[in-house]
Amino acid sequence: MKNILITGGGGYIGTNLVHSLLNENYKIKVIDTFWFGNYLKKNKNLKILKKDIRNSTDQDIGKPDCIIHLASIANDPAAELDPGLTWNVNVLATYNLINLAIKKGVKKFIFASSGSVYGIKKEKKVTEDLSLEPLSEYNKSKMIGERILLSYKKDIDLTILRPATVCGYSPSMRLDVAVNALTFGALNKKEIKVFGGKQIRPNLNMDDMIDAYKFFLKKKIKKNKHINDTIFNVGFENLSIINIAKRINKLLKLKSKIFIEPSNDPRSYRQNSDRIINKGFKPKKKIDHAIKEIKNKFNEKKIFKKESFYRINTLKIINTKKFNNV
């Protein structure tokens, strides 16, 4: 299984995943709009199609062995900016893509869902068998995307991952996710702005996220898998936002001021990822590694205040009407 199609391969996670797979001599095709820039290095085994995933055709898809579907309007603020765009990209494009995949005889399909689909949970450990009660447009769109794909699991080897909030460096950096944002604030302004603070959220190091995709990519092909072999949480550190802020100060040996502001996001939950661990996956890195990595890249001037590193800012700058008329 060497020919891989990655949608959203130019994004925060996608860029690192593409480079990692190229290092293992996979042949990769990327479909991406590159709204946030193209940081992919040239490689003889890499083909790039700059195109909106909503308009993908069977010719665009080609005949890959596996599709890793990362493309989406990601996180709540970006999704709320234009709900119509969010549903078109996260739901309708997913429906189109799975149909094209089956038509082209693709063997394996891996979908990037989100750990946020659970909504607010009182349970101490959020496992994959709990009900989904999404709160936002983004969460809801991911849930519907999952349900669409599950209706096709008899026809293709399907894996759905529900990752925690990913942290760590990428050339296509994001400074609008918790650990990255707090670390950058501490380094750049010597202050850490925390919204709420008591909420407990699951976190995931970038390298473990990449390894999780590769773990399922290399699994033996099997159609119509039991749900326990299809949906997996991927998150290994459940921490309160305020504790993350304090950890950043301690690790970086800083005395950044911590400002606590009200939050309109009440979600607080502990993601349990025993299912993927029981399948043999072994996480290797913690958020501490991500914090130190961000510091090093900041010192190398590879991380700085840039519009594209804040996804919603870029979406505001670009004319939304243009997106809807692509």
Q: Where are the domains of the chain?
A: 3-324
pLDDT at residue 117 tops 60: yes
**pTM of the full predicted structure?**
0.95
**3-324 CATH:** 3.40.50.720
* 192-241 per-position pLDDT tens digit: 988 888 888 899 999 999 999 999 999 999 998 999 999 999 999 999 99
pLDDT at 248: 96
Q: How many CA atoms lie within 13 A of 204 on its CB side?
A: 25
